[in-house]
A and B are shown apart, each in its own frame.
Chain A
Amino acid sequence: MKVRSMITRTFPGNFKSLEPISDFIVNRAEEAGFSAKDVYAIQTAVDEACSNIIDHAYGGENKGNIEIKIQNSTGELRILLYDKGEPFDPEDIPDPDISSPLEIRKERGLGIYFMKKLMDRVIFEFSPSEGNKLTLIKFKGS
């Protein structure tokens, strides 16, 4: 697989950053040739990931930055999100049971459920020196 471009941007870890982050992601996903539906899916996955970083890894706004690397290759778009917050593994949170009656549904984990449903790969890694690294991959033509 040939890498066509790699772009890195850093945003302050607050909810106001979500719109410029989305603009950044949408532009890159459109350049990579994804359909409007896939662009929206990628935008949603990254938005949910960043909201989770602010809420769960940093435990609030303005505690640190979110670094985003986007690698556009021939067969996929790979988005890497780095933060220096507490270790946060999305796999620790169970999927919401979307078939249970609406009145008793517990909604925790909906953002992660979105990420997993909308992307082809969601990979979480943590190291004490690098912090959290979340990799989101969308295959082209999938």
Chain B
Amino acid sequence: MSDRDFFDDDLDDEALAEQRAVRALLSSLPDPGPVPPDVLDRIHRTLRALQEEDAAHMSAGSAGGADTGADTGATVVPLRRRAAGHRALWLAAAAAVVLSGGGAVVSQLGSDTSARDTAASVAGGSPSPEATSGAGARGVAPAEPGGRVYASGTDYRRADLVRQALALLAPGPRRPAAELPGAAGLLADPTTLIACVRAVGAAPANLLAADLATYEGRPAVVLLLTGGSASTGSSAREVLVADRDCRPGTARRLTSVPVP
């Protein structure tokens, strides 16, 4: 390969000489070296957390899809079928789970006796008319410390889930929501959201933000939690996505991701 392969064809000699000089300068800069130990440690811890999450999902799934943990009361079907043996089969199985509306079936956690008491601290009181109208919704109920509720209509993506969810903590308006079927139900009654959070295995007190949106195009509620949900047993923050129809007995957990 000629070094000419790295340069535009229409450069005159002077410009080409300049290009070569800068290329030589850049290539001569010292290599940054290996990943520093502290960064490496972070990466190792993150990978371990991911593997532990996978293992938890796998063990829940291997119990016949009906493992009701003492801590969570939740039945979780892993989104990733590990050890499937063949990628095509895995993809087909995953698609079947999604298309059939399968996935996590989460039962109600405990009693809801405290739900009404906790509602105000999570949802910040009654939602604004803007929120419940389903159009033009911004951050709706400025919650008391720890809980903001939005109806942004954002289409969250698996690959970008953490980044998108963390944006909920940033100040500033959300983009206008599209039509959000089911949004009014969750926002109109804070106890419904409380029940939803409980139903997916999380503690309402740990809710940092909730967003009525879509996940991979599917109506969903995205929960940003601190202190981890019962499913991870971690103290780290976590993004948890559930179907929009998030009620005790019917809540479906679509995915959860630890926030690195």
Q: Are A and B subunits of one complex?
A: no
Binding site for A on B (CB under 8 A): none
